[in-house]
Every structure is written in structure tokens, then in C-alpha cells.
RNA sequence: GCGGGCGUGGCGGAACUGGUAGACGCGCUGGAUUUAGGUUCCAGUGACGCAAGUCGUGGGGGUUCAAGUCCCUCCGCCCGCACCA
């Protein structure tokens, strides 16, 4: 029999599915639904292995749910705005639009070659005016609802990408894309009011059981809620300064007040103090070299001012400007309590300030408690604190709060680390912001009837800066309110806005409104979302915010966009370097005589560690070359096998070969099955012997593989399928044809979501006229998955001595006496009587000697 | 520094609420088929030992009839955040 020709077969089945519109999802709102979504790709031009892994996992789930009878939504689109298109325009002179759509066309073909069960009729790109038109409408809706505002603020400026960035997009002080050190600038920009939902975004995390704990924690830390107090110190110059503290209980341990170098008061003082100007400049210089922060010494400048203790008019504290106080957090000013805060302690030791413990551990006398070079941050009782003495930390906090509030000096507040989402980008290839700046009327929203505000085509990239701003005419428009000459906002929206609601648009891509309420009510939330961990905060937090905004505006009825989230691991591959330390592609390296050489030469190659596939390290394998050689099913199977889906997976040639052999093996099992009864033949309900054995193996495989797929344990489902294949090849020749047919059909159907083309071919070879994609998922017969005999492990003193089979439900006495009579047990007991015999039903017997 | 995760054969990894450690795959060894290579098939494959058996889930200690799994402690690796008051 001929081998399975994956290449031909796969193309044929893809055409056959298309011809039947097999994956076009009807908006039939009466059926039970399942919305499976993978993070949509940026159209860079080629798919990479990460895409293959991501989309394979989603596809398996989509096909599995479909077979189970769900109405499945499994769409695909393109996150198509962004800088690479603009950079390509600058570098190669191409038009960003043409470049993007050409990339989309190429990638669509590549995705289709994977045989994905996607409803392509719902495809869209975020750069389609028919998409961003709705986004502009939503922007205006959000604006009217108070969720969008414009403000001047210190912003993160990426000098390489030439635009501002949101806080989430600054990683270790550098732009997330460019890697350039971010500068601070004061600019008027647009913000989404994500902080309006700080508490809600935080609290909901506790109920999102189907999200990875890790992602929830990262978001929790990012939102960074802390409860404390704001209160004021009166200063010797007649002014006052407000501080924020989570530890007002330690107020009697205070030994200084410190201001951020960026604090307005510090700036005011600096105006009259040359040394302070120099100090502030020094702080800012260190501040930009982010690596230095970790080791940065605590530095302070004594302003000469004093602050009066809120509870003692005679107690004066020195006021410093200190480099470790951040303007961006709290009020930009603190009181320092060295005994109970490490930073304050470091600072106090350096400048010789008092260190007075005011919280001592339970059971310790305050006289015996001293703080060395480690601040005490644990629980305890208040001491050296006048009216607070003897209270625990919580009581003291409450008491201080009550007194400060009563005195009108402070208030309890909750502070968040999360700040509003800055969405203005000084770039061309993004969604234009539908706002007009009128000299008379100020900020005026564009009329909805004028949407979409389209990007102009005739833009120049040969001059630096924002092409929309440079455009000779585009920005000049009459004011929508007064008709006087005015100017459009020339910024575009952060591309993360585009991806913050695309899942809602997929519910009905033809809807006149941005989101069809009826379709959204049916399809949302996404049942299973799959993508990379790199979006743990950025995209996933923005989408959660946006969904709340959509709900507020009445577009949807859900708070959370993604009921289940799965973050897949990355792909890794060995790295190679030549003698000059330059990275080499795997194709440039050959192995011979047990060593690695540059192909065709005797130059020895250095083998590096396996690392995440990346272009810069040249350790990438192009999916299309693998699909070309082995077919899509092989690469799909590889992505699912062995490694749990959340972990990083090592790409190996041997692994792929093994998968390819299994493809052939399944095909062979079917073609060489011999004479089988026709489709529909049922095995004898009272099978026994070898027939029963194979039937049990079949039904156990169904039960186990189904459970594993439900839990996204693809690697285990794969193992179950191998076991079934082994059981089929190992079955005796005499096994009844109907039993063999049942086993083979089951194998094909279980394989179906994972290797869909192979499954269709085999299904046809088994005599079916229908397709696997229209066949229901097999159901395990509980009678056949249960065991009628049980193997007891027999231990003596916890050591395995024998395994003995008993009928299911054998009574303890029988088990015990039979086991004690076993030769192995007698030998191990060596004539001594057992002290105790533990029988765990259906599992184990342990004899204690 | 803080928070989280992980540590099991040569490798990727199984092991449900403590109950036969190593399923399944890769690799490797031997044999059969083949002109040969590949494919395919059969057998084997944690370590030591001829065997009986002993030892084995990062190290040490503990709980238990029984520990990869629970507790304490130490070590190592990975990820996230990072002067957050």
C-alpha cells in the first residue's frame, strides 16, 4: 500500500472543507456556544513557530468543541496597525497600507496551509477603515462617558520610535519595542481612565479561576493597591507638605521628612539654592540610567527647613530632598521612620538621624529591642509612642487615622500604582483620533456622521516626525461646532486600543454598531483565550478595562472578556556561533564526526544553549519549510506532543521525524486493517477475551483523551492516543472485525482535532462517505472503562513484593489471606508473623512485619 | 530585596484526593526484513548486581503501615516586579 501523501491530501481536504463551508459559524443563538480565540497576529509577513503552536492549540479545542456539538466561534483577524509598517515605509519606500495587506495575504495563505478550522468570513484587519470607524465611535462614546480625557502630564518619550508610550510599555526604563532609554517630557496627551476601574479590575481577579495564577498576580501587582493615609506636616517656612504613608502607626518613630527631587516644593526651594539645583540635577541624571537604580545610594539634601510633628508642636523634624522618593507615587513626599523601613534606615544611618523603634515583637521589652542594620517590619506592640503604647499595629493605625482626621490634618486613602492609560501616539499608521482642536471652542469631537476619519494616503516618510502633522492639508478642517478653521488631532491611537475590543467585533463583523448587543450577549465572554505570557499585563489589562467601558455604554453585558485564559510556552532551539562569534542559522551548520562544523567547511562551530527562537539569534525554523516536507498534521502533532502546553518546548528534528512516522503509522493501521465489516457495524455487546481487551482499550482511550482535552492537557491526550494505537497493533489477529473497526474509528476520531487531514483520509479509507468534521465526538461506555479485576500491589514493610489480581469487590479477608499465602510474601516475612496488615480496597496491601 | 514557579532515567515528560515511580514519545542496544541506507517488525532500556536483592524523584530531617506527593530546613534554576513609602 502506498504511503500517506500529506502534501496532496492536505490540500484536497482544505478545499473540501471550504466547499462545504464547514467552519462558517452561523449566528444561531439557540445552540450552546463555545468561543475559542487565539491572540490575533501582527502581520509581519510570515508566520513563525510560536504562531503554529498557538493556533494549533486553539484549533484542537475548536474542532473538539465542534465535535461535541457546540456552536463554535473560532475567528481570525489581523492586529494590523503599528510601527513596523511605518518603518518599512521609511526604509524601503513602500506604502504602509500596501505593505500590510501584502503581508496579510501571505500570512493568510500560510495559516490556511495549517488546516485551521477558522471562520474566515469574519476576518478583518484593524487597519480596515470598516473596523477603525467603529473604534473612533467608541472613542467618542468613551469620551462622553468620561472615560477619555486629555491632560498635560509627564510622559514617557521613546526617542527611537519618536512617540510617547504608556507606562505598561516601558520595561526597565526602555521602550518595549525599540529598547531605547525612555525620556521624560511634559506633553498634553489623550488618556483612557483605566484608574476608574482600579478596584474592580483588582477584585475581579480573585474570581477568575480559569486564568493562570501567575497572570492574576502580575496584574494584582501592577494595579498595586495600598491602603494608607495622607496627612500634612506644617513647615518652618509657613507652608505645609502632604505625605502618604501605609504605616501611620509608626509616626512617633519619625526622624525626618523627605521630598522627591521633582516635588514642587523642592523645585521652589531650588530656585533660591544653587546647591539644591545641583543636587536635583544629580538625582535626575542617576534617575535616567535605570540600571544604576538598584545599587543607587540613598542621597539627601538638608533643606534647612523643619517640619512639625502632627502630634507634638514642639517636635521638629529635618526636611530633606531625597533621591529615593518618587514624585510619581503617593504625594511625592514621605516621613521617614528608620526603625521600620529599610530605605529610611539606610538613609538615617548615612545622615546620623535617630532610629527609634516604636513597634516591638510580642513578648519583647521595648528596652531590650534595638534595630541594627535591618529595619523591623514584622508585627508587634507599639512602644515609645505615647497614647499608642501597647496597641497592636492595626489598632494603632486606626487610632492615628481617627485623630488625624479629627484634627483635619489627614485622610485615609487608598493608593494605586496603576495610572491612566496614555493612548496618543505621534505616528501615522494607527487609528486617527476623532477630535478637532478649535481655537474658539477648544476640544470638539468629530461628528459621528463624518466617521471614519480616514488616514491620508499621500504622506511623506522622508522627513522625521509625525507624517500626519506634516501633511499639508489633512489636519485643516472646519470646527464641527462653530465651523471656524480648526485642526484635527494628528495623533493616532496606541495599537493596544485596536486589540482591546476585537474579540467583541468578531461576534458580528457586519453589525452597524461597533458591537452587536445581541451577538455579544450570546458569544461573550470568550470561553478560551490562548496566547503568550508577554501580554500578561499590557493587552490583557487593557482588554479587561475596555470591556468594562463597553458594558457601561450598553454594548455588552459582561465585565470580563476572557473567561478562560491559557498562556502557552515558547519555542526553543539550540544556538550556534561561528569563530567570530556571529550567530549562525541551523541550516548553516552540519554535524559530522561527532562535531559541529560550518556547512561545507572545516570551521568548528560553537554550540550554545537552547534559547527562545528569535531572529536576532538566528535560531529559527520556518514553519513553511516543515509543512512543505512533512505536512501540517506532522507539525501540529509535534506542537501537542510531549511537552505540556504552558511550558517552553524544544524544537528537535528527531521529534518531528517521530511525529511524521506516527502519521504514517496511523495510515498503515487503517490501510492494513484487512477485511472489516461495513461502517455502522456494532461490536457484540458481550465481547470477551481479546475482543473485550481491545474494546476496553478503546473506551478507556476515549474517556482519558476527552478529559485531557477538556483540561488542555494536549501532551497527555497524545499519550492516550499512542496507547490506543499500540493496543490496536498489539491486538491478536482473531479479534472480531467490528471490534477492530470500533478501535480504528475511535483512533481516527480522537486524532481528528489534532491531525484533521489525516483523520479525513483515514475516515474515508474506513468506508465513510461523510467527513470527520461532521462527525460527533465518541462517547465512552462506562461499562467498558470500569475494571472487573483489580491488581493489588502487595508490600511488606512498604516494599513491593508481588502484584496479585483479584476480582473487583473482593472482600478484605479473602485478599488478606490470599496475599499472606504468596511465596514472595512468605519469603520476605521469613517465618515471622505479621504485626499488622493494611488492606486498601482496590489498591494495595501492606504487611507490617 | 519582594512575589511566584520549578527540580523525577541519556532527553521531553507521566503518576487522580499520600497507595505498584518512570505511562507515552525521543534516543540508544540487540535481532529480523532489505543489495545498502532509510522504512518496517520483534526484544530490551533508572542504577548496582550472575541472581536473590539493594538503592533510587535536588540535599538533610520529620509525620505515616505507606511520601515524587504532606511538614520543616538547606541548595540550585527559571519568571515577574523592583527605592511603591
pTM (2 d.p.) = 0.92
A653 touches strand B (CB under 7 A): no
Q: Is A341 near strand B, with its CB below 7 A from some atom of it?
A: yes
Q: The C-alpha cell of A822 is what?
A: 504468596
A544 vs A369: CA distance, rounded Å: 48
What pLDDT is recorded for position A287?
Answer: 52
- Average pLDDT of span A530-534: 90
Sheet strands (E) in A789-830: 789-796, 799-807
Strand B closer than 7 Å to the CB of A548? Answer: no
> What is the tens place of the pLDDT at every residue in A97-122?
999 999 999 999 999 999 999 999 99
Residue A614 has pLDDT above 90, yes or no: no
**Mean pLDDT for the stretch of residues A482-490:** 95
pLDDT level of residue A289 (50, 70, 90 thresholds): very low
- Cβ atoms of residues A70 and A64 within 8 Å: no
Q: Report d(CA A424, CA A827) in Å as an integer.
A: 81
Calculate the angstrom distance between C1' of B4 and CA of A398: 32
Strand B and A226 CB separated by under 7 Å: yes
Nucleotide B52's nearest residue (CA vs C1') is A827
A652: CB within 7 A of chain B nucleic strand: yes
- Is strand B within 7 Å of residue A644 (CB)? yes
Element (H, E) at A362: none
Q: How far apart are CA A742 and CA A781, in angstroms?
A: 12
Q: Say which residues have a Cβ less than 8 Å from residue A419's Cβ, sequence separation at least 6.
A: A167, A195, A328
Q: Which three cell numbers stand for residue A30?
A: 439557540
Nearest nucleotide (C1') to alpha carbon of A641: B25
Cβ of residue A729 lies below 7 Å from strand B = yes
> What SS3 class is residue A200?
helix
Q: pLDDT (tens digit, 9 = 90+) per residue, A182-191?
A: 887 888 999 9
- The full DSSP string for A622-684 is -HHHHHHHH-HHHHHHHHHSSS-TTS-EE--HHHHHHHHHHHHHHHHHHHTS---PPTT----
- Measure the CA–CA gap between A256 and A575, rounded to whole angstroms: 54
A24, pLDDT greater than 50:
yes
The answer to whether A498 and A509 have CB atoms below 8 angstroms apart is no
Q: What is the pLDDT of residue A583?
A: 87
Per-residue DSSP letters for A733-771? Answer: TTS-HHHHHHHHHHHHHHHTTTSHHHHHHHHHHTT-SS-
Name which of A365, A368, A250 is nearest A311 in CA terms: A250
Q: Kindly report the backbone phi and psi dihedral angles of residue A563, in degrees, each rounded to the nearest multiple of 5, phi listed first.
A: -65, -40
What is the maximum span of chain A, computed from C-alpha positions, in angstroms?
Answer: 109
Mean pLDDT of the residues in chain A? 91
Give me the sign of the Cα torsion angle A775, A760, A740, A703: negative
Please state whether strand B lies within 7 Å of residue A171 at its CB atom: yes
How far in angstroms lies nucleotide B65's C1' from the CA of residue A793? Answer: 14
Per the structure, the residue whose CA is closest to nucleotide B23 at C1' is: A719
Please tell me the predicted confidence (pLDDT) of residue A616.
Answer: 83
First-to-last alpha carbon distance for chain A, in angstroms, is 61
Report the nearest residue to nucleotide B42, CA vs C1'. A730
Q: Mean pLDDT across the stretch A692-715?
A: 94
Report the C-alpha gap between A120 and A108 in whole angstroms.
10
Confidence at residue A290, expressed as pLDDT on a 0 to 100 scale:
42
Q: How far apart are CA A400 and CA A718, in angstroms?
A: 62
Give the SS3 label for residue A416: coil
The number of helix segments (H) and strand segments (E) in chain A equals 27, 36
Q: Which residue is nearest to nucleotide B83 (CA to C1')?
A: A324
Sign for the CA dihedral angle at A690, A696, A699, A701 comes to negative
d(CA A99, CA A88): 8
CA separation for the pair A673, A670 (Å, rounded)? 5
Give the gyration radius of chain A's Cα atoms: 34
Q: Is the CB of A247 under 7 A from strand B?
A: yes
CA distance linking residue A552 with residue A507, whole number of Å: 18
Q: Say which DSSP state A556 is in.
A: -
The 10 Å Cβ neighbour count of residue A797 is 13
Q: Which residue has the cell 521589652?
A: A365
Q: Which residue has the cell 463624518?
A: A450
Residue whose C-alpha is closest to residue A690's, from A727, A715, A642: A727
> With pLDDT > 90 as the criterion, what percentage of chain A qualifies?
64
Q: How far is the CA of A487 from the C1' of B19 (A)?
A: 76
Strand B nucleotides in reach of protein CB atoms, 7 A cut-off: 3-5, 11-15, 19-21, 23-27, 39-42, 52-55, 65-67, 79-85
Among residues A469, A451, A449, the alpha carbon closest in space to that of A461 is found at A469
More confident residue, A188 or A297: A188
pLDDT value of position A828: 83
A511 touches strand B (CB under 7 A): no
Please tell me whether residue A61 adopts helix, strand or coil conformation: helix
Sign of dihedral through CA atoms A177, A183, A189, A194? positive
- Nearest nucleotide, CA A824 to C1': B52
- Residue A685: per-residue pLDDT: 84
Residue A350: CB less than 7 A from any atom in strand B? no
Residues listed for chain A: 849
- In A236-350, the DSSP E strands lie at 240-245, 256-259, 300-309, 312-322, 333-336
Note if the bond before A525 is cis, omega within 30 degrees.
Answer: yes
Q: What is the DSSP string of A125-176?
A: BTTSHHHHHHHHHHHHHHHHTTSEEEEEEEEEEETTTTEEE-GGGEETTEET
A635 touches strand B (CB under 7 A): no
What pLDDT does A288 receive? 46
Give SS3 for A730: helix
d(CA A198, CA A629): 51
Model confidence over A630-682: pLDDT tens digits?
999 999 999 999 999 999 999 998 899 999 999 999 999 999 888 899 998 88
Nucleic strand B near CB of residue A834 (< 7 Å): no
Amino acid at each position: 500500500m502506498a504511503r500517506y501523501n500529506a502534501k496532496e491530501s492536505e490540500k484536497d481536504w482544505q478545499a473540501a472543507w471550504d466547499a462545504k463551508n464547514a467552519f462558517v459559524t452561523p449566528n444561531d443563538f439557540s445552540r450552546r456556544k463555545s468561543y475559542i480565540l487565539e491572540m490575533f497576529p501582527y502581520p509581519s509577513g510570515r508566520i513563525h513557530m510560536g504562531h503554529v503552536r498557538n493556533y494549533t492549540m486553539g484549533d484542537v479545542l475548536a474542532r473538539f468543541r465542534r465535535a461535541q456539538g457546540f456552536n463554535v466561534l473560532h475567528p481570525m483577524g489581523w492586529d494590523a496597525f503599528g510601527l513596523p509598517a511605518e518603518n518599512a515605509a521609511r526604509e524601503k519606500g513602500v506604502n504602509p497600507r500596501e505593505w500590510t495587506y501584502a503581508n496579510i495575504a501571505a500570512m493568510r495563505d500560510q495559516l490556511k496551509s495549517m488546516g485551521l478550522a477558522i471562520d474566515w468570513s469574519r476576518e478583518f484587519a484593524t487597519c480596515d477603515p470598516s473596523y477603525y470607524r467603529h473604534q473612533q465611535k467608541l472613542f467618542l462614546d468613551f469620551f462622553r462617558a468620561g472615560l477619555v480625557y486629555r491632560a498635560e502630564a509627564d510622559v514617557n518619550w521613546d526617542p527611537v520610535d519618536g512617540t510617547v508610550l504608556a507606562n505598561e510599555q516601558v520595561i526597565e526604563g526602555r521602550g518595549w519595542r525599540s529598547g531605547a532609554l525612555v525620556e521624560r517630557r511634559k506633553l498634553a496627551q489623550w488618556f483612557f481612565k483605566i484608574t476608574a476601574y482600579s478596584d474592580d479590575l483588582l477584585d475581579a481577579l480573585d474570581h477568575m479561576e480559569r486564568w493562570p495564577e501567575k497572570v492574576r498576580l502580575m496584574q494584582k501587582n501592577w494595579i498595586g493597591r495600598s491602603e494608607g493615609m495622607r496627612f500634612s506636616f506644617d513647615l518652618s517656612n509657613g507652608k505645609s507638605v502632604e505625605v502618604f504613608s501605609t504605616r501611620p502607626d509608626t509616626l512617633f518613630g519619625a526622624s525626618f521628612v523627605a521630598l522627591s527631587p521633582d516635588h514642587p516644593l523642592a523645585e521652589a526651594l531650588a530656585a533660591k539654592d544653587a546647591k539644591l539645583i545641583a543636587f536635583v540635577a544629580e538625582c535626575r541624571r542617576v534617575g535616567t540610567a535605570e540600571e544604576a537604580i538598584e545599587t543607587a545610594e540613598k542621597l539627601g539634601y538638608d533643606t534647612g527647613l523643619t517640619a512639625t510633628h502632627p502630634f507634638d508642636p514642639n517636635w521638629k523634624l529635618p526636611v530633606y530632598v531625597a533621591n529615593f522618593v518618587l514624585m510619581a507615587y503617593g504625594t511625592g513626599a514621605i516621613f521617614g521612620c528608620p526603625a521600620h523601613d529599610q530605605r529610611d534606615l539606610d538613609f538615617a544611618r548615612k545622615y546620623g538621624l535617630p532610629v527609634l523603634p516604636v513597634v516591638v515583637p510580642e513578648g519583647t521589652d521595648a528596652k531590650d529591642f534595638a534595630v541594627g542594620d535591618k529595619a523591623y517590619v514584622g508585627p508587634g506592640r507599639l512602644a515609645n509612642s505615647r497614647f499608642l503604647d501597647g496597641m497592636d499595629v492595626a489598632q494603632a493605625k486606626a487610632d492615628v487615622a481617627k485623630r488625624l482626621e479629627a484634627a483635619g490634618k489627614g485622610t485615609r486613602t487608598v493608593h494605586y500604582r496603576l495610572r491612566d492609560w496614555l493612548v496618543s501616539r505621534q505616528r501615522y499608521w494607527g487609528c486617527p483620533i476623532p477630535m478637532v482642536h478649535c481655537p474658539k471652542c477648544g476640544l470638539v469631537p468629530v461628528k459621528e456622521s463624518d466617521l471614519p476619519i480616514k488616514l491620508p494616503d499621500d504622506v511623506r516618510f522622508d522627513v522625521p516626525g509625525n507624517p500626519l502633522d506634516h501633511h499639508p492639508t489633512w489636519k485643516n478642517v472646519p470646527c464641527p461646532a462653530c465651523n471656524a478653521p480648526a485642526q484635527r488631532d494628528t495623533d493616532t491611537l496606541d495599537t493596544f486600543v485596536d486589540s482591546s475590543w476585537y474579540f467583541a467585533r468578531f461576534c458580528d463583523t457586519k453589525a452597524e454598531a461597533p458591537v452587536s448587543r445581541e451577538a455579544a450577549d450570546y458569544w461573550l465572554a470568550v470561553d478560551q483565550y490562548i496566547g503568550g505570557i508577554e501580554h500578561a499585563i499590557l493587552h490583557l489589562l487593557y482588554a479587561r478595562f475596555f470591556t468594562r467601558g463597553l458594558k457601561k455604554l450598553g454594548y455588552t453585558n459582561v465585565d470580563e472578556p476572557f473567561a478562560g485564559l491559557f498562556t502557552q510556552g515558547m519555542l526553543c532551539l539550540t544556538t550556534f556561533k561561528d569563530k567570530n562569534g556571529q550567530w549562525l542559522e541551523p541550516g548553516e551548520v552540519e554535524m559530522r564526526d561527532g562535531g559541529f562544523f560550518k556547512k561545507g567547511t572545516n570551521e568548528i562551530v560553537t554550540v550554545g544553549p537552547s534559547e527562545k527562537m528569535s531572529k536576532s539569534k538566528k535560531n529559527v525554523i520556518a514553519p513553511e519549510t516543515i509543512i512543505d516536507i512533512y505536512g501540517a498534521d506532522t507539525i501540529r502533532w509535534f506542537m501537542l506532543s510531549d511537552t505540556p502546553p504552558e511550558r517552553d518546548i524544544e524544537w528537535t528534528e528527531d521529534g518531528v521525524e517521530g511525529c511524521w512516522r506516527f502519521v504514517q503509522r496511523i495510515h498503515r493501521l487503517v490501510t492494513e486493517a484487512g477485511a472489516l465489516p461495513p461502517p455502522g457495524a456494532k461490536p457484540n455487546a458481550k465481547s470477551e477475551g481479546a475482543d473485550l481487551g481491545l474494546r476496553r482499550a478503546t473506551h478507556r482511550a476515549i474517556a482519558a483523551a476527552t478529559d485531557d482535552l477538556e483540561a488542555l492537557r494536549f501532551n497527555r491526550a497524545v499519550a492516550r492516543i499512542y496507547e490506543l494505537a499500540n493496543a490496536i497493533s498489539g491486538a491478536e489477529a482473531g479479534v472480531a472485525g467490528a471490534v477492530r473497526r470500533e478501535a480504528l474509528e475511535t483512533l481516527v476520531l480522537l486524532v481528528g482535532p489534532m491531525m484533521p487531514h489525516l483523520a479525513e483520509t483515514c475516515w474515508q479509507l474506513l468506508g465513510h462517505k461523510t467527513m470527520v468534521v461532521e462527525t460527533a465526538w465518541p462517547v465512552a461506555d462506562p461499562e467498558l472503562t470500569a475494571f472487573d479485576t483489580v491488581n493489588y500491589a502487595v508490600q511488606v514493610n512498604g516494599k513491593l513484593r508481588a502484584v496479585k489480581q483479584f476480582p473487583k469487590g473482593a472482600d478484605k479477608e479473602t485478599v488478606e489471606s490470599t496475599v499472606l499465602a504468596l511465596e514472595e510474601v512468605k519469603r520476605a516475612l521469613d517465618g515471622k508473623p505479621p504485626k499488622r496488615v493494611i488492606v486498601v480496597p482496590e489498591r494495595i496491601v501492606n504487611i507490617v512485619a
